[in-house]
Amino acid sequence: MNKRQLKNFEEKLLEAKQTLVRRVQKAEVDGREADSESEARDLADQASSSYTKELLFSKSNSDRQFLQKIEDALELIEAGEYGKCSSCEEAIGLKRLEAVPWARLCIKCQELQEQGKL
């Protein structure tokens, strides 16, 4: 992988990271707002607010996990290890990295992991 390709992947990852950080922050704010609004409402509104808050928390938690994958990929770029499968240590295909820039496994190892063989 040349420096230009590596820089392109880094830019994609940084852009995805910014988007996720904004989503996580918005979910936290929305969760606090739903919590404060439910104090003065009846039981049905409180239940609805509780459901909304739980949904926002679940989405936020998923976004945080995804954010961690992106941060891990950025660390690999910095360490000079980006694009190498963390299992077999072969190069991850450029097409796979274009589709999933935070990928840590090559297609072969990813399939083995999904089958529970890795």
Rounded Cα distance between 109 and 86, Å, is 9
The one-letter code for the residue type at 23 is: R
Which of helix, strand or coil describes residue 90? coil
pLDDT band at 53 (very low <50, low <70, confident <90, very high): low
Rounded Cα distance between 34 and 54, Å, is 10
Residue with tokens 């299992």: 87
Q: Which two tokens stand for residue 104?
A: 């840590």
pLDDT band at 26 (very low <50, low <70, confident <90, very high): confident
The one-letter code for the residue type at 100 is: V
The per-residue pLDDT for range 82-113, each reduced to its tens digit, is 999 999 999 999 999 999 999 999 999 999 99
- Taking 3-state DSSP, the helix, strand and coil percentages for the chain, each rounded to the nearest 5, stand at 75, 0, 25
Which of helix, strand or coil describes residue 34? helix
The per-residue pLDDT for range 56-74, each reduced to its tens digit, is 666 677 888 899 999 999 9
pLDDT of residue 68: 93
